[in-house]
Chain A
Amino acid sequence: EDKVVQSPLSLVVHEGDTVTLNCSYEVTNFRSLLWYKQEKKAPTFLFMLTSSGIEKKSGRLSSILDKKELFSILNITATQTGDSAVYLCAVDQGAQKLVFGQGTRLTINP
């Protein structure tokens, strides 16, 4: 059975801290790995990763993929209260059929 597992499920930190969110996967078909941020309802796209070892970066967020060990991490540095959200990891199995993890709920306290 295809599965994507995220850890931790919940994380509470103080503003300014750095956090690392984990995503491991076991799927029959892999085309890419994606990270989304879900604040209220609609997930918004953060990163797409297809190659191992190449870091994607956007401001304070960065992500990397290890296709040998089948995992990815999402780093957020100098966290802000606006980073509070559920972060979803998903694997695209082809033609945009996404298998999602259960998400990590991140809470940033001022």
Chain B
Amino acid sequence: DAGVTQSPTHLIKTRGQQVTLRCSPKSGHDTVSWYQQALGQGPQFIFQYYEEEERQRGNFPDRFSGHQFPNYSSELNVNALLLGDSALYLCASSLPMGWEALYNEQFFGPGTRLTVL
């Protein structure tokens, strides 16, 4: 089992550009969440995808968008990049669950380090 995989590992972009990050969930997982972790900070929840739809969203602007494919893999897109978007972007996947169910462990990928110059 490969676990959660993310690509690319590192990425350097300039302000105003657009970027797409990719995530493949752990086998059997259908829920994918994305987090942004700035240097020296804890991860911040961006959004979560389940059944190809955005189910929950954190306090991030519309420049951050995503998609989930039928095979449960997911993409995170960021438009009009700002210097402040430089961070480690983490993807986490988990087993199916209902809104009222107890926590199912989220498995994190190794992240994509995005640097915006």
> Interface on A for B, CB 8 Å cutoff?
4, 6, 31-32, 34, 40-45, 48, 50, 88, 90, 92, 94-103
In the complex, residue of chain A having the shortest beta-carbon distance to the beta carbon of B58: A97
Measuring CB to CB, which residues of chain B are less than 8 angstroms from any residue of chain A?
4, 31, 33, 35, 40-45, 48, 55-56, 58, 88, 90, 94, 97, 99, 102-111
With A and B bound together, what is the CA distance between A94 and B55 in angstroms?
12
B28: shortest Cβ distance to chain A, in Å?
Answer: 16
Q: CB distance B41 to A95 under 8 Å?
A: no
CA distance A97 to B32 in the complex (A): 11
B103→A42 contact, CB < 8 A:
no
Which of chain B's residues have a CB closer than 8 A to the CB of A99? Answer: 45
Question: Are A42 and B42 within 8 A (Cβ)?
Answer: no
- Contact A43 B56, beta carbon cutoff 8 Å: no
| Distance A98 CA – B56 CA, assembled complex (angstroms) | 11
